[in-house]
A and B are shown apart, each in its own frame.
Chain A
Amino acid sequence: MDSIGLIREFLQDRLGVEPENVIPEASLAELGVDSLMMLELMFEFEDRFGVKLSSDLKTPQTVGEMVSLMDGLIASQKH
């Protein structure tokens, strides 16, 4: 599964968000992702992709920013 797939699956499972609404320009807050849900989403991401997020990461505001963050971490931590 890729990053956008994980985000779509998570938001559908936890918040009932339809996958077609999870597009790069969508605001995470408007999709219902509050600070606690963001932590849980990041935790799920770390778990599924076997990567570690540092605690000082800038919080993504949109789905696209989240995908970039995830893809960047996956690429950097593969080495």
Chain B
Amino acid sequence: MSQRRVAITGLGLVSPYGGDLADFFARLCAGKSAVRYLLTDDLPRPLSIPFVSCPGFDPDVALGKPLASMMDRFAQLAMAAAFSAWNDSGLPRQAEGDQRDDWGVAWGTALGGTLAYEKGYRELWQKGRERLSPLSVVLGMNNAANAHISIQLGLGGVSMSHTVACASSAIAIGEAFRRVRSGEATVMLTGGSDVPQAYGVARAWEALRVMAPGDAETSAAACKPFSAERRGLVLGEGGAALVLEDWDHAVARGARIHGEMVGYGTTCDHSHLVRPEAAGQIRAIGLTLADANLNPGDVDYVNAHGTATAEGDPVEITALKAVFGDRAAALPVSATKSMHGHLLGAAAAIEAIVTILALREGTIPPTAHLAALDPDCAGVDHVTTARHGQPLRAALSNSFAFGGSNAVLAFRAVDV
């Protein structure tokens, strides 16, 4: 069966900066960090961490109270991002007849409705309540986000959630891509969302000793991927969505095409739960290039996974050097997590959007706070200030998850 081309016709997110997509990308290119110091009122020991939140996001305003009250915050962020991407695509909101029976949703979330569950635990164990709200299950379930999106947009095809830690939305986007490319789906709404500020979740991440420290003065620059001074990752909440569409369908309706999705590869290290292995990443990048029919020399930018952990960053650079060989030293690489944080299930989706905007605008956003490169992370062209006017042809976005799952997405610019 011949494969269809896959157009990216809609992009949307809930920006931690509070503005729209253009504002989000402009701030990244200006090296502006969205990381802030978070001090909660939890007793007896408040959370005191660098964090990325979306303080301008009011779900009652964005979605209306009746809809917002049926969702945990991760689904609210998902719904808002999905509406934004859908509006951007120019596709109508309401279904007409049965034409959307093969239009679907693939959504990534690492955590699901952990705020709803935590609220339940507090009610039961802290307040001594006997029963919980009847909405607890539908608020907490991991597939709540994709279910709401399918309902609100009238999408009658597949509706699925993907939980693969930090690669959740990379896998979701990749699986959505494959469905459109194969002809199984005409349109797929995809992306990811997560809200890691449930007290128990944040404490669990702290216990892993992978989170960067910071206070009111230092938090904005707490995440330093590839730096000799890196101290760990910065968690954040967020939601980001893409509309993937059969190319001919998009052209026929005169849609604006942001870029083309051309490849996806996923592997597992199958060796350790949290220690990454270059071999698995090399296979994932190689599979993606082959899937996309790209040579290493065709790739003009890589948005790195780059979480700023001690172990992860050098392994990713090792993998890139192995795949790109002589080209690696001239391969532009940046880790935008330095500014928007690690959004877990939303991470790959927001980074896919960054990668697509980089291709579309011909601008590579930087890795912020990279004044002192770790020698173990040398060997690629680290982008430390935005590069404008770049004739970018193709780009990759890497996501490497706890559990050893690796997923890489490939995109091409339109008309280059």
Q: For the complex, is A29 an interface residue (Cβ under 8 Å from B)?
A: no
B65 contacts A36, CB within 8 Å?
no
Rounded to whole Å, the gap between the CB of B130 and the closest CB of chain A is 10
- Please give, as numbers and ranges, the residues of chain A lying within 8 Å of B131 by CB-CB distance: 43
Q: Is the CB of A15 within 8 A of B134?
A: no
In this assembly, does A24 line the interface, its C-beta being within 8 Å of a C-beta of chain B?
Answer: no
* CB–CB A14/B65 < 8 A: yes
Q: Which of B65, B69, B70, B134 contacts A39 (CB under 8 A)?
A: B134
B64's partner among A13, A16, A43 (CB-CB below 8 A) is A16
| Secondary structure dominating the interface of B | loop
Q: Are B134 and A14 in contact (CB under 8 A)?
A: no
Query: For the complex, what is the distance from the CA of A14 to the CA of B131, rounded to whole Å?
Result: 20
Q: Decide if B133 is an interface residue (CB 8 Å cutoff).
A: yes
Q: Is the interface of A mostly helix, strand, loop or mixed?
A: helix
Determine the distance from Cα of A14 to Cα of B138 in the docked complex, in whole angstroms.
Answer: 16
Per a CB cutoff under 8 Å, which of A15, A40, A42 touches B65? A15
Query: A5 at interface (Cβ–Cβ under 8 A)?
Result: no
Chain B residues with CB under 8 Å of A43's CB are: 131, 133-134
The closest CB in chain B to the CB of A42 belongs to B134
Contact between chains at B66 and A36 (CB < 8 Å): no
- Contacting pair A36 B64 (CB below 8 A): no
B26 at the interface (CB under 8 A from A): no
Give the shortest distance, in Å, between B66 (CB) and chain A (any CB).
Answer: 5
Closest to B65 in A: A16
Which parts of B24-77 form the interface with A (CB within 8 Å)? Answer: 64-66, 69-70
B134: contacting residue among A13, A32, A40, CB under 8 A: A40
Chain A residues in 8 Å Cβ range of B251 = none
Question: Taking the complex as formed, is B135 at the interface, i.e. its CB lies under 8 A from any CB of chain A?
Answer: yes
Question: Are B134 and A36 neighbours in the complex by a CB distance under 8 Å?
Answer: yes
Measured between beta carbons, the chain A residues less than 8 angstroms from B65 are: 13-16
Q: Give every chain B residue within 8 A of A14 (Cβ-Cβ).
A: 65-66, 69
Shortest beta-carbon distance from A35 to chain B in Å: 10
* Chain A residue with Cβ nearest B138: A36
Please indicate the chain B residues that have their CB under 8 angstroms from the CB of A13 in the complex.
65
User: A32 — which chain B residues lie within 8 A by C-beta?
Assistant: 66
Complex CA–CA separation, A28 to B159 (angstroms): 30
List CB contacts (< 8 Å) of A2-31 with chain B. 13-16
**Min C-beta distance of B224 to chain A, whole Å:** 45
Please name all residues of chain B whose beta carbon is closer than 8 Å to the beta carbon of A42 when the two chains form the complex.
Answer: 134
Query: From residue A58, how far is it (CB to closest CB) to chain B in Å?
Result: 18
- Whether B66 contacts A16 by the Cβ 8 Å rule is yes
Distance A42 CA – B134 CA, assembled complex (angstroms): 9
- Tell me which residues across on chain B come within 8 A of A16, comparing CB atoms: 64-66
A47 to B413, CA, bound (A): 57
* Alpha-carbon distance between A43 and B134 when the two chains are bound, in angstroms: 7
Distance in angstroms from B136 CB to nearest chain A CB is 10
Distance in angstroms between the alpha carbons of A2 and B70 in the assembled complex: 26
CB-based nearest A residue for B132: A43
- In chain B, positions 96-139 with a C-beta closer than 8 Å to chain A are 131, 133-135, 138
CB proximity to A under 8 Å, residues B135-187: 135, 138
Q: Which 6 A-B pairs have the closest CB atoms?
A: A39-B134, A15-B66, A14-B69, A43-B134, A40-B134, A16-B65
Given contacts A39-B134, A40-B134, 19 further A-B contacts (CB under 8 A): A13-B65, A14-B65, A14-B66, A14-B69, A15-B65, A15-B66, A16-B64, A16-B65, A16-B66, A32-B66, A36-B70, A36-B134, A36-B135, A36-B138, A40-B133, A42-B134, A43-B131, A43-B133, A43-B134
Can you identify 13 A-B contacts, CB atoms within 8 angstroms?
A15-B65, A15-B66, A16-B64, A16-B65, A16-B66, A36-B134, A36-B138, A39-B134, A39-B135, A40-B134, A40-B135, A43-B131, A43-B133
